[in-house]
């Protein structure tokens, strides 16, 4: 059944594969066991931290109780009675305050004592109880001005609290936790403190009955709450924990190990029978001098029981894998080796273009089918190769013809491009010449019209005619200037002359220039600018941008509308300045936000048909802003308002990358 080569291959496989797999398996078991143990310890630490967070929330909830009492209306009324009423009125308000404290204690039922101590340290109100019933203790006449909790609390600000776990309960065998918060009257004067105590047993009540989900660990675990000075507060043990184990665990917890009370979370896993995890609970995250420590002690055997089960299962898995690998090697060696060698030899012959080569086919199984397919492929390749050579020759001829046509087309495109450039140049020259020729007579018309308007012999009708001539001439002159500027920009003949510009002064002059337009429609116009704000730009172009934007804001505004200009730095680095022109006009539809910056574009619509204009102002403004390294855009609510914004760098060469 097996050839000699197969025997050698199997023997070699046993030597080079089974032994390394065995070593790797044992190493993997150890590594996986260590990882599993680490994950288990990590999980217990996370679970303990979660329990500590619940206790911390409980502490904060109690702090909020004391803060609530310190700001209660009953206290404020008592302060007012002390300042303005007789002793009988003070006693009446004190009685109401005692009733308020009594209702609070009965509603919470977790405090052993809740008291109000005035600013001199005298006990004013004290309510005491055992959780089931409470009563007012009105016989206590005691001064606490020398007590640490009173001194420390009187130093605190409003909403701060003093918390400590240092006093023993008079009714229970447990340690008390003290809460104290300062009290301020309506004039923010210190009027004493609210002082309360509660049993440490309540700190474990917010937690669930089980520490971990697994039942064995639940039965073999216990919780201890101690202070950072290693003072025992309270504890909770597992369901089946015997007294001897409890004593042993308590000795471990209270042994005075510095790592447990160090203020950091951690795990002690080097003990023989137990695993100890601990985490601190700070009364105040900003004060680490006094805090609680939540300690969990678990039986090591219960925690790592699943780890041992996992190790046994993993060992069985490795053994099975080795056996299956040996069996598979025997089968694969005999089934694949020989046919594969013949196929490899065939592919090498085909690679050398020996397309007439045929692989021998001694069997009828899948490898035999593969050999037949390989032989058929070789025949097809021989035929395809022959046909491919003919097709390559034909395609080469077609490609040469296509290249000739492409070269001719490229030549035609170059000639057309040259003609287009020449036509654009002639157009720019024509526009410039025509604009220059038209400006000369228009300036004469404007000048003579101004002279005629000064004639006192003219009647009102003649003056109206002359004013109409003057207004239309100026509009035509502005149109010619815009066309000339646009022509210069397109011909790259427009130069930028940078200079330092005081923005506030420029805004003042431009807004003064808008006075006649504003007066016609009774528009309220204003501006806001940081004082002494300076920017390096082309002053004339910035002025023209502001004139164009303000003119549009006034022209497309409503009667008695508003126009506001705002200028400020874009960011804290002050490397760019943002200009905004807002108006309460007719607004712009969002679909037209991009189109309004194109040459000779105006918004179609009923509202805008009554407004005159060529649509060059915004186009020129956009080109000026971009030439100076800035960006311009518009925001608007149709029918309500529009706001044009643009950003310019403070000095040449700076670019702003934060434009939204």
Selected residue with higher pLDDT from 75 and 422: 75
Q: What would the two tokens of residue 570 be?
A: 């874009």
**Is it the case that residue 124 has pLDDT exceeding 90?**
no
CA distance 449 to 471: 10
**Is it the case that residue 324 has pLDDT exceeding 50?**
yes
CA distance 197 to 177: 5
**Is it the case that residue 462 has pLDDT exceeding 90?**
no
Selected residue with higher pLDDT from 214 and 639: 639
Q: How far is CA 18 from CA 317, 326, 374, 544, in A?
A: 14, 8, 36, 87
CA distance 418 to 227: 91
> If you average pLDDT over residues 425-442, what whole number do you get?
65
Q: Right CATH number for 495-649 from 3.40.190.10, 3.40.50.300, 3.30.565.10, 3.40.50.11890?
A: 3.30.565.10
Domain boundary assignment for the chain: 71-203, 204-304, 388-493, 495-649
User: Is residue 350 helix, strand or coil?
Assistant: helix
> Which ranges of 71-86 does DSSP label H, i.e. alpha helix?
73-84
What would the pLDDT profile of 264-322 be if each residue is shown by its tens digit?
888 887 777 778 888 888 887 777 778 888 888 887 776 666 666 766 776 787 777 77
Q: Is the pTM of this model over 0.85?
A: no
List of residues 6+ apart from 660 with CB closer than 8 A? none
Q: What would the two tokens of residue 25 be?
A: 């398996």
Q: What would the two tokens of residue 421 be?
A: 């450039």
Q: What is the mean pLDDT of the chain?
A: 78
Q: What would the two tokens of residue 88 be?
A: 């009988």
What would the pLDDT profile of 486-527 be if each residue is shown by its tens digit?
666 666 666 788 999 999 999 999 999 888 888 888 999 999
Q: Are 71-203 and 204-304 the same fold in CATH?
A: yes
C-beta of residue 200 within 8 angstroms of C-beta of residue 174: yes
CA distance 444 to 259: 98
- Count CB atoms within 10 A of the CB of residue 299: 21
The pLDDT of residue 660 is 39
Q: What would the two tokens of residue 344 be?
A: 């490899």
Please say whether the dihedral angle defined by the alpha carbons of residues 106, 107, 109 and 110, taken in this order, is positive or negative.
Answer: negative
Q: What would the two tokens of residue 494 be?
A: 């427009």
DSSP state of 201: G
User: Is residue 234 helix, strand or coil?
Assistant: strand
CA distance 624 to 647: 12
Q: Which residues make beta-bridge pairs with 476?
A: none
Please say whether the dihedral angle defined by the alpha carbons of residues 623, 650, 478 and 508, taken in this order, is positive or negative.
Answer: positive
**What CATH architecture is 204-304?**
2-Layer Sandwich (3.30)
> Phi and psi of 183, rounded to 5°?
-120, 130
CA distance 7 to 333: 9
User: Is residue 265 helix, strand or coil?
Assistant: coil
C-beta of residue 96 within 8 angstroms of C-beta of residue 74: yes
- Count CB atoms within 10 A of the CB of residue 181: 25
Query: How many CA atoms, within 13 angstroms, populate the side-chain half-sphere of residue 438?
Result: 18
CA distance 270 to 46: 19
C-beta of residue 577 within 8 angstroms of C-beta of residue 654: no
Q: Render 535-573 in DSSP notation, one character per residue.
A: EEE-HHHHHHHHHHHHHHHHHTSPTT-EEEEEEEESSTT
**Is it the case that residue 206 has pLDDT exceeding 70?**
no
Selected residue with higher pLDDT from 450 and 99: 99
The pLDDT of residue 608 is 44
C-beta of residue 502 within 8 angstroms of C-beta of residue 534: yes
Q: What would the two tokens of residue 370 be?
A: 């593969």
> Phi and psi of 600, rounded to 5°?
60, 30
What would the pLDDT profile of 56-110 be if each residue is shown by its tens digit?
888 888 889 888 888 888 888 888 888 877 788 888 888 888 888 888 888 888 8
Local confidence band at 250 (pLDDT 50, 70, 90 cut-offs): confident
What would the pLDDT profile of 12-44 be if each residue is shown by its tens digit?
766 666 677 677 767 676 776 677 667 777 777
Local confidence band at 445 (pLDDT 50, 70, 90 cut-offs): confident
For 71-203, give the CATH class: alpha beta
For 388-493, give the CATH class: mainly alpha
Measuring CA to CA, which residue among 127, 144, 147 is closest to residue 136? Answer: 127
Q: What would the two tokens of residue 510 be?
A: 């431009």
């Amino acid at each position: 059944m097996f050839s000699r080569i197969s025997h050698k291959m199997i023997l070699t496989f046993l030597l080079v594969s089974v032994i390394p797999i065995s070593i790797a398996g044992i190493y993997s078991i150890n590594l996986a066991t260590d990882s599993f143990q680490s994950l288990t310890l990590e999980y217990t630490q996370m679970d303990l931290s979660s329990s500590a967070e619940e206790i911390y929330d409980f502490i904060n909830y109690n702090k909020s109780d004391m803060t609530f009492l310190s700001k209660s209306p009953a206290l404020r009324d008592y302060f007012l009675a002390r300042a303005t009423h007789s002793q009988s009125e003070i006693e009446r308000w004190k009685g109401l305050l005692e009733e308020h404290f009594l209702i609070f204690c009965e509603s919470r039922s977790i405090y052993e004592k809740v008291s109000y101590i005035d600013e001199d340290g005298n006990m004013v109100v004290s309510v005491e109880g055992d959780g089931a019933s409470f009563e007012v203790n009105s016989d206590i006449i005691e001064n606490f001005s020398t007590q640490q909790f009173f001194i420390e609390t009187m130093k605190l600000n409003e909403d701060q609290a003093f918390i400590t776990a240092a006093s023993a309960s008079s009714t229970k065998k447990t340690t008390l936790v003290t809460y104290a918060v300062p009290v301020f009257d309506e004039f923010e004067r210190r009027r004493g403190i609210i002082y309360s105590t509660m049993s440490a047993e309540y700190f474990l009540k917010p937690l669930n009955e089980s520490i971990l989900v697994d039942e064995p660990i639940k039965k073999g675990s216990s919780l201890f709450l101690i202070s950072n000075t290693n003072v025992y507060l309270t504890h909770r043990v597992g369901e089946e924990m015997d007294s001897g184990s409890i004593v042993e665990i308590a000795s471990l917890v209270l042994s005075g190990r510095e790592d447990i009370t160090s203020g950091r979370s951690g795990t002690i896993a080097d003990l023989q029978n137990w695993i100890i995890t601990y985490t601190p609970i700070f009364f105040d995250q900003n004060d680490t001098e006094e805090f609680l420590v939540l300690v969990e002690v678990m039986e090591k055997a219960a925690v790592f029981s699943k780890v041992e089960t996992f190790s046994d299962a993993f060992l069985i898995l490795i053994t099975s894998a080795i056996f299956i690998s040996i069996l598979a090697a025997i089968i694969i060696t005999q089934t694949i080796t020989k046919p594969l060698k013949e196929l490899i030899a065939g592919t090498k012959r085909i690679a050398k273009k020996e397309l007439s080569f045929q692989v021998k086919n001694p069997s009828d199984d899948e490898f035999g089918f593969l050999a037949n397919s390989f032989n058929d492929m070789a025949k097809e390749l021989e035929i395809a190769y022959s046909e491919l050579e003919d097709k390559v020759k034909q395609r080469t001829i077609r490609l040469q013809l296509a290249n000739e046509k492409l070269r001719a087309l490229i030549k035609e495109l170059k000639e057309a491009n040259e003609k287009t450039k020449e036509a654009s140049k002639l157009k720019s020259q024509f526009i410039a010449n025509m604009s220059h020729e038209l400006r000369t007579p228009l300036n004469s018309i404007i000048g003579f019209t101004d002279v005629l308007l000064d004639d006192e012999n003219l009647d009102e009708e003649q003056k109206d005619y002359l004013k109409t001539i003057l207004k239309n001439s100026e509009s035509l002159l502005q149109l010619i200037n815009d066309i000339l500027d646009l022509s210069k920009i397109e011909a790259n003949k427009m130069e930028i002359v940078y200079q330092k510009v005081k923005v506030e002064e420029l805004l003042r002059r431009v807004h003064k220039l808008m006075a006649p337009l504003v007066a016609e429609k009774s528009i309220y116009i204003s501006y806001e600018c940081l004082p002494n704000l300076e920017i390096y730009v082309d002053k004339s172009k910035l002025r023209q941008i502001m004139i164009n934007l303000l003119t549009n804001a006034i022209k497309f505004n409503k009667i008695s509308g508003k126009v506001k200009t705002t200028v400020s730095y874009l960011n804290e680095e002050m490397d760019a300045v943002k200009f905004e022109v807002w108006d309460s006009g007719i607004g712009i539809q969002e679909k037209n936000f991009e189109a309004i910056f194109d040459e000779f574009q105006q918004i179609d619509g009923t509202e805008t048909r009554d407004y005159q204009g060529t649509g060059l102002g915004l186009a020129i403004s956009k080109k000026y802003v971009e030439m100076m390294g800035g960006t311009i855009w518009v925001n608007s609510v149709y029918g309500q308002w529009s706001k044009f914004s643009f950003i310019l760098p403070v000095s040449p060469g700076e670019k702003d990358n934060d434009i939204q």
